[in-house]
Structure 1
Amino acid sequence: MNQPSYTQGRQDKPLLAMTIGQALDNTVARFAEREALVVRHQQLRYSWRELADSIDLHARALMALGLKTGDRLGIWAPNCAQWCIAQFATAKIGVILVNINPAYRTSELEYVLRQSACQWLICAGTFKTSDYHAMLGELLPELAHQAPGQLNGERLPDLRGLISLDDAPPGGFLPWAALAGMAEQVAPAEYQQRQQSLQFDQPVNIQYTSGTTGFPKGATLSHYNILNNGYMVGESLGLTEHDRMVIPVPLYHCFGMVMGNLGCITHGTTMIYPNDAFDPLLTLEGVARERATVLYGVPTMFIALLDQPRRGDYDLSSLRTGIMAGATCPIEVMRRVIDQLHMGEVQIAYGMTETSPVSLQTGPDDELELRVTTVGRTQPQLESKIVDEHGCIVPRGTIGELCTRGYSVMLGYWGNPAATSEAIDPAGWMHTGDLASMDEQGYVCIAGRNKDMIIRGGENIYPRELEEFFFTHPSVADVQVIGIPDERYGEEIVAWIKLHPGHSATDGELQAWCKSRIAHFKTPRHFRFVEEFPMTVTGKIQKFRMREISIEELCNR
């Protein structure tokens, strides 16, 4: 009988049985005066002691707002020092941090705040083309007439208050700068008691993932889930207190806040944010000026760094390792990353938000071919298996659905037990929906994402969510969304549109309509207006045929 497609990760690395706050305190005790956080675009630097002091101050201030264990606080902002402080301050008082994509527009924001029943929201003032204050004013017309913390909005009934990162926000917002002053309302002993009451398997974070069946689902993650995942990723990289990690990936995503921030705090590694969002030149500058040893990114980021015209101006020789994740890495890109960015130990990681996120990872000594043709082997203290459509484990080398089990599997989807039971089976296996095969050595190769998902620049986009969105346009009678290959982003979005009789629309009109309503990365690059869709004789849509036609028209011309 062929060996089954099942592996266990190494068992010799014990899991951390502690809360995120306890892990942070341990690191502060060991490395108090070493540099903890560098935020270059804000010109801020913190030692571990200074960062801990700011976290403790703001944690007490959040308690003063009335936030209790299990309450939800949203954060809607790009990378900044306040994001990091909020992440750890909420963890220390048992408040569940709800990550909100900075690119979200009003409909997406409203859904997430309502579904998670957020009591408070931290937001930036503006970012790129987004005016957060204006969008919140649109959702909450009552805001201008109510004092901070006294909010009573019709559309968001659970939301009690808003904290703005601007120093002088409009009426109704509590400025972040004023928040710390509220800490004196909570005695240190009360704060300490709150921390001591927390358990490591309690929820600490909700991250929304686009769903194949419509609205995003909130993956609920515990201290145990994400603290240990960050720790294990860091262990594979060989992180120590002497490492310095540049984190250009977004903090609202697991890549930034778990693999980045939590990987650093469990090893005493310095966190470096080169900018509020990815900028290749500022990332190169951050690596060179800060003498970074570790760099994170999705393949499109590394391509942008390699192709930056001024790359040669910067000394990148301090780099030794990093992680590339979010999409398959072409072999030529991997070779250039190793040779030109000096990242000889760069690793590939695979996972999903629901698994905290990493479940498979290559190692520093893996051959180059394994680092570009596979996503590595099962992480320590986890299990992987590949099953057929009946749930039976397939032999090695056979393609099936990849499943993960262990400490990293989420607690469930927030307020959605039906979706949770569909994703996690009774034996505790998380079904990824991804097709994969496992070789004799246990290395896993991803054969393809689930049949619908699009990965554009590291962002997971599910066509069903976009299709439901386009159905709200008055001219759209029917719509099908697919992904096609793209050299820069990995995939681009194509929307096939069938219009109502007598209606008209253009690419530009539909893109403009999307602009104020959905995140920019979800807006289709191409539109194709049709009378009918390719179908089977039984009336089923043939998305594979649509993909073939679109590739022929758009990629091969």
Structure 2
Amino acid sequence: MQGMSYTRGPQDKPLLAMTIGDAFDETVARFTERDALVVLHQNVRLSWTQLHQQVEDCARALMGLGIKTGDRVGVWAPNCAQWTICQFATAKIGAILVNINPAYRGSELEFALRQSGCSWLITAEQFKTSDYHAILQQLLPELSSARLGELHNEQLPALRGVISLAQNPPAGFLPWHQLAEFSEQVTPAQLQECQALLQFDEPINIQYTSGTTGAPKGATLSHYNILNNGYLAACSLGLTEHDRVVIPVPLYHCFGMVMGNLGCITHGATMIYPAAGFDPEACLKAVAQERATALYGVPTMFIAELDHPRLGEYDLSSLRTGIMGGATCPIEVMRRVIKQLHMSEVQIAYGMTETSPVSMQTAADDELEMRVTRVGRTHPHLESKIIDEHGRIVPRGVTGELCTRGYSVMLGYWNNPQATSEAIDAGRWMHTGDLASMDERGYVQIVGRSKDMIIRGGENIYPREIEEFLFTHAAVADVQIVGVPDSNYGEEVAAWVKLHVDSDCCEETLRAFCKAHIAHYKVPRYIRFVDEFPMTVTGKIQKFRMREVMVEELNL
């Protein structure tokens, strides 16, 4: 395959052929009294031994409620200690954890619970503007009068009950602090017996993808999928038990629970949650207070931290590494991350929920340009190829669709064989929908989503290229480029621009800057100054929403 866009990752580190529960137990035995979990907004600090005890108690309690291997258990909560305890407790009994997006409202929650067939839901009391209890009371009017574990709802026939993390929830909810009572019905030996029967390639997690069209699809992931992906992503960072990782990304997403939690537990590193949701100052404070060595986030998070007015008040010198994912990083932002946050070994990771998630990653010693123009090389034990519209592998340097294959590819979409067959072909290649090219060294550059490419008067325009250019303007803090309909050219370029604080840059100035340096057809026809972008809870920009807003505002 020399000269063609195909690579295979290194095979020197063997994959972990074990369940998440067994891997967790091994780490606990090795690092007993070291810090395992620090949750600053809850004032929680647990050693590996203490975390293990809480996980064991929770696992036995869930069994005491009648939850069995293969049952689905939903968690609808922002980042907190209980989320992580549930993650490992369900893994120990083989219950399939269903990650519910904290931003979901009633109809979205109902869809996820019904489609996955959840038997129990563990919920927070509220988050931001959402009152979870009120939403559930409206969705489940029978809950207040139902006997524990005997809920009957026509729309959600599999759901048996709801556990609340609140101290005093409304009638019908089982309070978290009372859950422990059910652990008395199951002995430690019974839990061990259940755990011993589990197989590492069984499903253990369902994550709903936030697709831009149609209903969300539940990516079904095994122990093998996510345990190994977290392990290998952390190997690239060189994590050990001496590392302390600040995890501000949401746990309900792969970035938090796989690259964050599972990356830490496979190496004995400390998991640190600064806040329930992303708060830039809480992240800076967590790094300084806990002497963190690694910080995770998407580019928008790092930009918010770098632009925070109190950045200079925190000692961040303990940092050395971290992962930036969710989007490629503008070069100016990367320079600032390395200089101002001291993250000289920061790495870019690329992937998708359906691939557990990481399939590409840069290395600690990659030169700066590689860390901003590429998403790395193929991850260990995986294969990558770039294909044309006919499914043929293209030569190096030619743009096509990126596909990935290997241990990390999901088992499929839960109860959705048609969507599964559309995403994974007969050769078990996952089709990402991303446009990419591969250079002679095997580094991959993401050009954009196939649907994000702008075609203006027959010219193919890649938004990433214009975004990178606009980042070189001193006034621009962040920028996103989308295509909008145009009667003459088919599409025109629209820019959403976030300016640095106190900047007085105007539309005419930016457009003149573009005209002086890039081809005329790439110059944005429309420029909109904004304070924020529409995005998912995980920090991914929703360009389809930006298009919708522009079409409506401009009557296109």
TM-score range, shorter chain: 0.7 to 0.9
Decide whether the 8 Å contact of 1:362 with 1:371 is kept in 2: yes
Deviation at 1:45, TM superposition (A): 0.4
Aligned equivalent of 1:438: 438
Tell me the distance in 2 between the aligned counterparts of 1:36 and 1:520: 28
Deviation at 1:328, TM superposition (A): 1.8
Decide whether the 8 Å contact of 1:293 with 1:321 is kept in 2: yes
Deviation at 1:2, TM superposition (A): 6.7
Q: What aligned pairs does 1:271-420 form with structure 2 within 5 A after superposition?
A: 271-420=271-420
Tell me the distance in 1 between the aligned counterparts of 2:286 and 2:264: 17
SS of 1:205's partner is: strand
Q: Please tell me whether residue 266 in structure 1 is matched to residue 276 in structure 2.
A: no
What amino acid does structure 2 have at the position aligned with 1:395? P
Deviation at 1:166, TM superposition (A): 0.1
Deviation at 1:388, TM superposition (A): 0.6
Deviation at 1:153, TM superposition (A): 1.1
Tell me the distance in 2 between the aligned counterparts of 1:79 and 1:17: 28
Aligned equivalent of 1:146: 146
Tell me the distance in 1 between the aligned counterparts of 2:277 and 2:493: 25
C-alpha deviations, 1:91-142, integer Å up to 9, x for none? 0000000001100001110110000000000000111100000001111111
Tell me the distance in 1 between the aligned counterparts of 2:541 and 2:368: 31
Q: What aligned pairs does 1:225-236 form with structure 2 within 5 A after superposition?
A: 225-236=225-236
SS of 2:66's partner is: coil
What amino acid does structure 1 have at the position aligned with 2:171? G
Q: 1:212 to 1:42 in 2, by over 3 A?
A: closer
Deviation at 1:449, TM superposition (A): 1.2
Tell me the distance in 1 between the aligned counterparts of 2:550 and 2:318: 48
Tell me the distance in 1 between the aligned counterparts of 2:190 and 2:494: 55
Deviation at 1:211, TM superposition (A): 3.2
Deviates more, 1:395-404 or 1:179-188: 179-188
Decide whether the 8 Å contact of 1:434 with 1:450 is kept in 2: yes
SS of 2:216's partner is: strand
Tell me the distance in 2 between the aligned counterparts of 1:421 and 1:483: 34
Tell me the distance in 2 between the aligned counterparts of 1:485 and 1:76: 35
Deviation at 1:483, TM superposition (A): 10
What percentage of residue pairs aligned between the two structures are identical?
Answer: 70
Q: What aligned pairs does 1:8-407 form with structure 2 within 5 A after superposition?
A: 8-211=8-211, 213-407=213-407
SS of 2:55's partner is: helix
Decide whether the 8 Å contact of 2:244 with 2:294 is kept in 1: yes
Normalised by the length of structure 2, the TM-score is 0.84
Tell me the distance in 2 between the aligned counterparts of 1:110 and 1:452: 30
Tell me the distance in 2 between the aligned counterparts of 1:483 and 1:268: 47
SS of 1:385's partner is: strand
C-alpha deviations, 1:155-213, integer Å up to 9, x for none? 21110000000010001100011001210101222111100000000000000003355
What amino acid does structure 2 have at the position aligned with 1:486? W
Tell me the distance in 2 between the aligned counterparts of 1:72 and 1:112: 11
What amino acid does structure 2 have at the position aligned with 1:309? P
What amino acid does structure 1 have at the position aligned with 2:416? N
Decide whether the 8 Å contact of 1:98 with 1:205 is kept in 2: yes
Decide whether the 8 Å contact of 2:438 with 2:444 is kept in 1: yes
Decide whether the 8 Å contact of 1:2 with 1:396 is kept in 2: no
What amino acid does structure 2 have at the position aligned with 1:30? R
SS of 1:211's partner is: coil
Decide whether the 8 Å contact of 1:294 with 1:320 is kept in 2: yes
C-alpha deviations, 1:65-98, integer Å up to 9, x for none? 1111100000000000000000000000000000
SS of 1:60's partner is: helix
Deviation at 1:144, TM superposition (A): 1.4
SS of 2:210's partner is: strand
SS of 2:194's partner is: helix
What amino acid does structure 1 have at the position aligned with 2:330? P
Deviation at 1:147, TM superposition (A): 2.4
Decide whether the 8 Å contact of 2:327 with 2:540 is kept in 1: no
What amino acid does structure 2 have at the position aligned with 1:224? Y
What amino acid does structure 2 have at the position aligned with 1:209? T
Deviates more, 1:153-162 or 1:434-443: 153-162
Deviation at 1:442, TM superposition (A): 0.1
SS of 1:214's partner is: coil
SS of 1:7's partner is: strand
Decide whether the 8 Å contact of 1:330 with 1:372 is kept in 2: yes
Tell me the distance in 2 between the aligned counterparts of 1:138 and 1:428: 42
Deviation at 1:25, TM superposition (A): 0.6
Tell me the distance in 2 between the aligned counterparts of 1:520 and 1:144: 37
Tell me the distance in 2 between the aligned counterparts of 1:308 and 1:216: 34
- Structure 2 unaligned regions, length at least 5: 454-462, 465-477, 484-491, 500-533
Deviation at 1:408, TM superposition (A): 0.2
Tell me the distance in 1 between the aligned counterparts of 2:419 and 2:498: 33
What amino acid does structure 2 have at the position aligned with 1:99? N
Decide whether the 8 Å contact of 1:96 with 1:206 is kept in 2: yes
What amino acid does structure 2 have at the position aligned with 1:406? G
Q: 1:179 to 1:128 in 2, by over 3 A?
A: same
Decide whether the 8 Å contact of 1:300 with 1:488 is kept in 2: no
Aligned equivalent of 2:496: 486
Q: 1:529 to 1:109 in 2, by over 3 A?
A: same
Tell me the distance in 2 between the aligned counterparts of 1:485 and 1:59: 50
Q: How many residues align?
A: 485
What amino acid does structure 1 have at the position aligned with 2:398? T
Deviation at 1:435, TM superposition (A): 0.5
Aligned equivalent of 1:448: 448
What amino acid does structure 1 have at the position aligned with 2:186? V
Tell me the distance in 2 between the aligned counterparts of 1:389 and 1:53: 53
C-alpha deviations, 1:376-430, integer Å up to 9, x for none? 0000110000011111100000000000000000000000011101111111100
Moved >6 Å (runs of 4+)? 519-523
- Structure 1 unaligned regions, length at least 5: 464-481, 490-513, 531-545
Deviation at 1:528, TM superposition (A): 5.5
Tell me the distance in 2 between the aligned counterparts of 1:319 and 1:131: 37
Deviation at 1:220, TM superposition (A): 0.1
Tell me the distance in 1 between the aligned counterparts of 2:551 and 2:355: 38
Tell me the distance in 2 between the aligned counterparts of 1:417 and 1:452: 27
Deviation at 1:310, TM superposition (A): 0.5
Deviates more, 1:232-241 or 1:322-331: 322-331
